């Protein structure tokens, strides 16, 4: 079930809504909705969501990771879940308040950079070293096609765990993340 940015803004003003942001700490530090709790997709805590009073709205950049998080949480027995349609981008487009930090290279752009470099490397290695390396380009192309068809990207999930996608000022230990303020 989805909720629009305007609906969420109205519901937050009227009652108890828990906001769970499932993006990487780096993305969260760049921009997030005030009052949202950082719980990266790979560190979801169903017990915290279950313990919340009222509804839980799951947030990501555009809504795709939030939908994955909702599936995981529902499988763990969580109820009263909704996804912010269009994610933080839609919230910002509506002119609703956000907390901003330093600009970063988004996860989507990182996937494009890495995939492009792998295709070029596979092509060059296949041309100058051994034709077997063309398989790398084929593998990456198939992965991109699969991600486009299924809305699931393994490379994005791996890159989300990379050290540069973690952020100073955000402490993550085990499944828990907290934002430190200066």
Beta carbons of 81 and 139 less than 8 angstroms apart? no
Per CATH, domain 2-104+167-179 is 3.40.50.300 = no
Active-site annotation holder among 60, 78, 153, 177: 60
HSE-CB at 153 with a 13 A cutoff on CA atoms is 21
What percent of the chain is predicted at pLDDT more than 90? 55
DSSP 105-146: --HHHHHHHHHHHHHHHHHHHHHHT-GGGHHHHHHHHHHHHH
CB atoms near residue 21 (< 10 Å)? 28
Q: Domain coordinates of the chain in residue numbers? A: 2-104+167-179, 107-164
**pLDDT tens digits, one per residue of 130-178:** 999 999 999 999 999 999 998 889 999 899 888 888 765 554 544 445 5
60 carries an active-site annotation: yes
Q: How far apart are CA 175 and CA 12, in angstroms?
A: 26
């Amino acid at each position: 079930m989805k909720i629009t940015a305007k609906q969420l803004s109205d519901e937050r003003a009227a009652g108890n809504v828990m906001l769970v942001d499932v993006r990487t700490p780096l993305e969260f530090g760049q921009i997030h909705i005030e009052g949202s709790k950082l719980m990266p997709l790979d560190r979801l805590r169903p017990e915290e969501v279950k313990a919340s009073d009222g509804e839980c709205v799951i947030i990501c950049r555009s809504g795709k990771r939030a939908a994955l998080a909702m599936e995981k949480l529902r499988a763990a027995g969580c109820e009263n879940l909704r996804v912010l349609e269009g994610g933080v981008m839609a919230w910002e487009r509506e002119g609703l308040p956000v907390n901003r930090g330093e600009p970063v290279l988004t996860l989507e752009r990182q996937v494009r950079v890495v995939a492009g470099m792998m295709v070029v490397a596979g092509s060059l290695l296949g041309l100058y070293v051994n034709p077997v390396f063309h398989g790398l380009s084929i593998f990456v192309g198939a992965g991109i096609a699969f991600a486009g068809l299924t809305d699931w990207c393994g490379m994005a999930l791996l890159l989300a765990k990379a050290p540069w996608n973690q952020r100073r000022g955000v402490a993550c230990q085990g499944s828990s993340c907290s934002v430190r303020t200066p």
